[in-house]
Structure 1
């Protein structure tokens, strides 16, 4: 068993990420991304009374009612400030609300999604690398730069060809920050509190895009 070198502390914020085993894809199509987002929304709550697999078999009205009750009454394992899903990995900025909340959330998320993915693709075995990474955010500056890094990931990875297409990338919290879309589990207030307007946030994000992509190219040449 692998043990974490640096423990995760309650009430602290972390950049959390993991990739597919051997850098293999974990998302093949829109259905996969939507499933992962559904599981995020379900398992960021503390101790739902149903497993996701059972919840997913309920009628749409019953599922909506169940989630509404969780929203009103359930505690949360984590607060989710940003996320981005890329074909072979994911990123989050999370605050641990409940003790061991991040570990519980990621474990439930990965296990539930891996069962779906393996069944869908007739495969077996691990889908994700053994231990997710968690980097503690130690300053406001680091927090903002990490959120920007995550939101620019589809551009850095050449998943979008034009920078102005980034705001339309559907599998990222950037759309919520730019008010194009919303995710029920996402909390944008903390990050936006550092900016006078959403336009200021947008400028902060996009002004460094080319520089981040260049760094990504250099990293690829050096380490891959």
Structure 2
């Protein structure tokens, strides 16, 4: 694997005509100074303003995941409105802006590990995803104002070991929801597998491919799902 950089980026929002449109001063500034290259890995996360809940129910989680799939297309319009009839098709071939490697959605924040696949893919993807979800959430919950907080934060990881470890960090996030931590690994592993809003189950092939992640990128590091579960301990 060639040299990679994993960046942790927060995004700001600015109101435009009653709707909040995502701007990425951090990302745009960083791109001008360093320039993202295709193939580069990034860890992107954000949480609700004032640490507020951003996923109130399963429909909110599903809407965000749907956006991760549908808006990850080079020719997809950023202003497209998602409906039940224009969801993604698992068999649809398209050129992606980014390759999403793993993710986890939590009640008040999210983590996404991705790899840029096309020029400016990272900024275009998050502009679409952020715009779409904020408009959906504010309309559904009859609210106005910012949904996500800032400012951004950037960290770099320049080796494969750190990249692989980051998948563990992201997939273990749901353990924060347990009031009394489990000490038995089998119980922990089962809890993580059953958590529906992360890509861990996809890594273990215990659920159908959702067309968001393709865990085969780790095949060179882990021969099978058992090896990855051992790594997660």
Q: How does the TM-score come out when normalised to structure 1?
A: 0.79
CA distance 1:15–1:151, change in 2 (3 Å):
same
CA distance 1:193–1:134, change in 2 (3 Å):
farther
Q: Cα offset for 1:27?
A: 0.3
Match of 1:171 in 2: 197
Q: Is 2:74 the partner of 1:46?
A: yes
Q: Is 2:39 the partner of 1:19?
A: no
Superposition RMSD in Å: 2.4
Q: Distance in 2 between matches of 1:21 and 1:30?
A: 20
Q: Structure 2, unaligned stretches of length 5 or more? A: 1-22, 183-187
- Contact 2:79/2:128 (8 A) holds in 1: no
- Contact 1:13/1:94 (8 A) holds in 2: yes
The 3-state SS of whatever aligns with 1:110 is helix
Q: Cα offset for 1:51?
A: 4.3
Q: Structure 1, unaligned stretches of length 5 or more? A: 208-224
Q: Deviations over 1:70-113 (max 9, x none)?
A: x32x3211001100000011101100111221111111111101
Match of 2:225 in 1: 198
Q: Deviations over 1:109-164 (max 9, x none)?
A: 11101111001111001111245555444211011110000000001343795413
14, 17, 36: which one aligns with 1:9 = 36
Within 5 A, what are the aligned runs for 1:22-171? Answer: 22-48=50-76, 51-53=79-81, 55-56=82-83, 58=85, 63=86, 67=89, 71-72=92-93, 74-130=94-150, 133=153, 135-158=155-178, 162=182, 163=188, 164-171=190-197
Q: How does the TM-score come out when normalised to structure 2?
A: 0.76
The 3-state SS of whatever aligns with 1:102 is helix
- Contact 1:26/1:87 (8 A) holds in 2: yes
The 3-state SS of whatever aligns with 2:43 is strand
- Contact 2:73/2:97 (8 A) holds in 1: yes
Q: How many equivalent residue pairs? A: 198
Q: Distance in 2 between matches of 1:45 and 1:159?
A: 39
